[in-house]
Amino acid sequence: MKQLDYIIVGSGIAGIAFCENLEANSRHYVVFDSGEQTATGVAGGVVNPMVLKRLNPIWKASQFINKAKPFFEGLQNKLNTQIVKDQLLLRIFATAEQQNDWVVASDSPAMEQFLQPEIIHNTNTNINAPLGYGAVRNTFRIDTPLLLQAYRKYLYNSGKLISEEFNHNELKETNDGFVYRDLNTRHVIFAEGSLVLKNPWFTLDCIIPKKGEYLLVRSTELKCEATLKGPYFMIPTEDDLYMVGATFAHGDFSYDKTVKGRQTLEKAIQKMVKCPYEIVDQICGMRPTVKDRRPLLGSLNTNGIYFLNGLGTRGLLMAPLLSQWLFQLIENNTPLPPEVDIRRFDD
């Protein structure tokens, strides 16, 4: 029997961020990942603490962003892979009212950290933004396919990655932990994203997967280096390629590409872009969202079994701090903020 401190199920951003806590504290662990569906792999990668529609920072925005930036920079150094892109995030003003709201909001001291007050004029004739842009401060982008590839290689090389599906029915509770095949562990962390719904240890009904679709578009003329937020995000990735999206499809739990998604996003591109482009792909994924739109951390009825889930639309921003909160709960008994504690749904 191999003796471990932790088994992690899932190596999306939740699993990766938790592993980094284990590494920093020299814990023994392995990670299971079936490489099946991952929200992290299809995410636009925008790390953004603002709700741009309402010009509000998200809950605990400063704490999340102040943890996320050094976390990803540290990971970039450790993996020796360029995963952090310092890309401007510009909101296109569709109306004079939106422009005015931006100026008013950015005047408040609480917003200084997030909104640049000056209106930026558009100089790119291929982009439709006659009223200019507002720039969001403290944002950046993560190349998520590259992050997953590099991190899984790192885990594999250190003998910690088990590239197969974790079969929940084979996990048995013992007097001092759990046994899974030839592994003995004190703790199990389920970081399974939307697939947690297949997990028999997860007994709640508060996770609602939210499908999102992107179009991948090529345009040699567009020459835009910033991420633009118009009706949807338009995110430059590499070599004249842009991700446009992502949609929010309520009640569609399939991974099928939809005509509706494509049409909605094509309309958005036509609003934002004035030069020729070609659609090269359509991508979709499931955001693990929670009924009350807060993450889901901690333990239900079985000591030693923990969930790190509900990262919703901002997993990249939130995972570094959430994983630290969960680690501190397990190892030091530090209480979680009640807003994210999974027990809020367990009555």
Ligand X SMILES: Cc1cc2nc3c(=O)[nH]c(=O)nc-3n(C[C@H](O)[C@H](O)[C@H](O)COP(=O)(O)OP(=O)(O)OC[C@H]3O[C@@H](n4cnc5c(N)ncnc54)[C@H](O)[C@@H]3O)c2cc1C
Binding site for ligand X (CB under 6 A): 9-15, 32-40, 42-47, 165-166, 191-193, 195, 212, 214, 246, 285-288, 309, 311-317
CA–CA distance from 225 to each of 82, 86, 127, 141, 144 (Å)?
A: 17, 10, 12, 12, 18
Q: How far is the CB of 316 from ligand X (least distance, A)?
A: 3
Name the minimum Å distance from CB 194 to ligand X: 6
Shortest distance, CB of residue 156 to ligand X, whole angstroms? 14
Closer of 111 and 286 to ligand X (Cβ): 286
Q: Which CB, 19 or 115, lies closer to ligand X?
A: 19
**Of residues 52 and 131, the one with the C-beta less far from ligand X:** 52
Q: What is the CA radius of gyration of the chain?
A: 21
- Considering the complex, state which of residue 34 and residue 128 has its C-beta at the smaller distance from ligand X: 34
Q: Cβ 278 to ligand X, closest distance in Å?
A: 21
| Beta strands, E only, 76-232 | 84-85, 89-92, 133-136, 140-142, 161-162, 171-174, 177-180, 183-190, 207-218, 227-229
For ligand X, which is the closer residue by CB, 134 or 212? 212
Q: Identify which of 268, 222, 52 has the alpha carbon closest to the alpha carbon of residue 127.
A: 222
CA distance 91 to 104: 15
Distance (Å, whole) CA 148 – CA 290: 24
Cα distance between residue 337 and residue 12, in whole Å: 23
| SS3 (DSSP) at 86 | coil
Cβ contact 14:36 at 8 Å: no
Residue number, 34 or 126, with CB nearest to ligand X: 34
CB of residue 52 to ligand X, shortest distance in Å: 12
CB of 154 to ligand X, least distance (A): 15
